[in-house]
Structure 1
Amino acid sequence: MRSAGLTPWQPPAAFGEYRLLQPLGRGAMGEVYLAHDTVLDRLVAVKFIAGVAPDEVQRERFRTEARAIARVQHPNVVGIHRVGEVGDRPYLVSEFLRGDSLDRLPRPVPWERVLEIGIGLSRGLAAAHRQGVLHRDLKPANALLTEDGQVKLLDFGVAKLLDVAMAPVGPGLLPERQAGG
């Protein structure tokens, strides 16, 4: 939401070891830029909170997203490299992925490919759930098929973090009534 007379924040072209190259996309929660990490000499994606000035609720959601991604280290989940602030604006740095989101795949998708994508998504979600992370916004736009054919879960902006020490629930762990007994 824009306030009258306020200009949306623009990130600096360079900060720390990062040099922004071009915008990659914008969503409800943030803006993502392609950047060059000058220390490690690699391309990365840098996400900033979108809008004029982030409030504490937005900042906490952003921190939750960063913690969620950091908890889940899996080949089917985007990797996070760093979290920080430039000025008063939080940012997170993640791996840069070449490919297209699933909502941009040409149709029809062969059933064999659908199966491979589904297995990759299931593995990524299972890894997240094992770490107490609920994605809560799974949709084709939030998963990417890389150029080498790997599927990656993205955008943990509305994720919920659970206590990983919580006891698992399964057969034999539920009260008899809930287990159908």
Structure 2
Amino acid sequence: MLRARQKLGKYRIERRLSDGPLATVYQAYDTIHGLRVALKIPHRRMMDDYFLADFRKEVRMLAKLDHPNILPIQNACFIDGYFVISMPLGVETLGSRLQKRISTAKALDFTAQILAGVAHAHEERIIHCDIKPDNFILFPDNQLRLADFGFSKLARGRIEASGSGTVGYVAPEQAMGRPLLASDVFSVGLVLYRMFAGVLPRWPYDWPPPGAARLRQKLHPDMVALIRRAIEVKPGRRYRDGQQMLAAFERIRRPAAAR
């Protein structure tokens, strides 16, 4: 663990923001540019060629993605033996924002941003593989950005991968090691259900899950149907990718907002 006020090149560590299985994220002050940033730093036990290849892959994937709803990487380099990824610093995660009351109108705006970011990644054939509220970072003016592509896979033909992601938001086929673009759709559907209903559905995802009455009370039936389709257990019954789900949402957004 790095300590508060510890220097790392031009960065001065201020506090730890989060710990993940692969890396820790810190808030730091860039003493050259005079800005606060987020630094993602792999754990020491991950500093071998195998895991560093994954972090380099994440950096290169993000270099392909240029979208206002995806968190960009400002810099990636070795500093004092650490592999350091610098990113813009947000206000809080969507996960922490969901601990407070959120209006339906604001949640629909967040829905549009969530889908726009995921659709852009899918346009580049990138499966995020770890979509959850804590991986959407909230910035001023309620801008959401999708972060943490550490588990991402390139969708080129059939993928054989170890089951990765966050328990509770992972699609069944992804848990079996076969992620698809539709696996991200499933995870997005669970994020939306949690955002509007206030609870997270659990396996076996039978409809209606707990909170469905609240969902129907708050949302237009078309919006409920969109979420229900996204969390179908069988991938073939979902939207095939974020682009198709975004297009479906845009068709119903106006009546959904008028509810």
Aligned to 1:148, the other structure's residue is in SS state helix
Q: Which residue is 2:76 aligned to?
A: 83
Q: Which residue is 2:107 aligned to?
A: 114
Quickly say closer, same or farther: Cα 1:14–1:150, change in 2 above 3 A: same
Judge conservation of contact 1:64–1:160 (CA < 8 Å) in 2: no
Q: Which residue is 1:126 aligned to?
A: 119
Matched residue type, 2:40: K
Aligned to 2:109, the other structure's residue is in SS state helix
Q: Which residue is 1:159 aligned to?
A: 152
Matched residue type, 1:69: L
Structural mapping, 1:16-55, within 5 Å: 16-55=9-48
Q: Note the residue ranges of structure 2 that are not aligned, 5 or more in a row.
A: 157-259
Which structure carries more strand by proportion? 1
**1:103 has 2:98 as partner:** no
Q: Shift of residue 41 of structure 1?
A: 1.3
Q: Shift of residue 147 of structure 1?
A: 3.6
Aligned length: 154
Judge conservation of contact 1:29–1:50 (CA < 8 Å) in 2: yes
Aligned to 1:109, the other structure's residue is in SS state coil
Q: Shift of residue 80 of structure 1?
A: 0.8
Judge conservation of contact 1:65–1:156 (CA < 8 Å) in 2: yes
Q: Shift of residue 108 of structure 1?
A: 5.1
Aligned to 2:108, the other structure's residue is in SS state helix
Judge conservation of contact 1:133–1:159 (CA < 8 Å) in 2: yes
Quickly say closer, same or farther: Cα 1:53–1:62, change in 2 above 3 A: closer
Q: Which residue is 2:129 aligned to?
A: 136
Q: Which residue is 2:59 aligned to?
A: 66
Q: Deviations over 1:53-79 (max 9, x none)?
A: 522222112112212222212111112
Which structure carries more helix by proportion? 2
Aligned to 1:80, the other structure's residue is in SS state coil
Matched residue type, 2:119: A
Paired with 2:19 and 2:154, the residues of 1 have a C-alpha distance of 24
Q: Shift of residue 135 of structure 1?
A: 1.0
TM-score calculated relative to the size of structure 1:
0.75
Q: Deviations over 1:21-60 (max 9, x none)?
A: 2211111111111111122111111111024352222211
Paired with 1:97 and 1:19, the residues of 2 have a C-alpha distance of 17
> Relative contact order, CA 8 A, sep 6+: which one is greater?
1
TM-score calculated relative to the size of structure 2:
0.54
Matched residue type, 1:122: L
